[in-house]
Amino acid sequence: MIIPKNVEQLAQFVEAKGKHVFFFTATWCGDCNFIKPKMPEIEAENSTFEFIEVDRDEFMDVAVEWGIMGIPSFVVIEDGKETARLVNKLRKTKEEVNAFLATVK
């Protein structure tokens, strides 16, 4: 999982070729902390994607611009264009995230 250090670095991943999953999270978020330990497995099972972890509090302007009102949330960007999103404030299981990603492979 890649963790961008600043908005410029995040923007590079948005514009990059390929499939990227932006995982919006926050340290205080219980539901984020529930799914976070499963992320290495999710990444391994979805190797066609590159995963980027975005701290919603560090990148609040980006979260607002992207309409991320609940976390944890996942946004898929392929070749600079959004192709899918799983954005809400509900707890997500590994199975739910994998099922979501299967729809955009």
Catalytic residue list? 29, 32
Token reading at 77: 């960007």
Spatial distance between the Cα atoms of 23 and 38, rounded to a whole number of angstroms = 12
